[in-house]
Amino acid sequence: MSLPLIIDCDPGVDDAVMLMMALASDALDVRAITTVAGNVPLRLTSRNARMMCQLMGRREVPVYAGCRGRCCGRLSRQRTSTGQAALPGSIRSSRTRRWPQAMP
């Protein structure tokens, strides 16, 4: 029996890897993904989560956009080595690459 799960994240590289692992796992039943702003704006974190669902063949998992900023204090936008979308180019251009099969 798999664990029903709703994942809340701000998909950059680290959360993208976590989403791929969760979506590929037989032990988890990912029911939905909610996204919040992180190092990049909400529109990009939501897009990144949808890209991970598509990449993992899990288009049926809904992605819901959540908070655009912090509940208190300022949201820090730091430029990262992965670019403005917070994902490396190899992930963003997944249509042109052959991806390995998900691990069981």
Question: Which runs of E-coded beta strand occur in the chain?
Answer: 3-9, 28-35, 63-65
Q: What is the pLDDT of residue 104?
A: 39
Q: What is the pLDDT of residue 84?
A: 55
Q: What's this model's pTM, rounded to 2 decimal places?
A: 0.73
C-alpha 60: how far from chain center: 15
Q: What is the pLDDT of residue 67?
A: 83
Q: Where are the domains of the chain?
A: 3-95
Task: Write out pLDDT tens, residues 28-54.
Answer: 999 999 999 887 889 999 999 999 999
Alpha-carbon separation of residue 26 from 69, 76, 81, 102 (angstroms): 33, 36, 33, 11
d(CA 38, CA 50): 16
Per-10-residue mean pLDDT, the chain, length 104 = 94 92 97 90 93 96 87 59 54 44 41
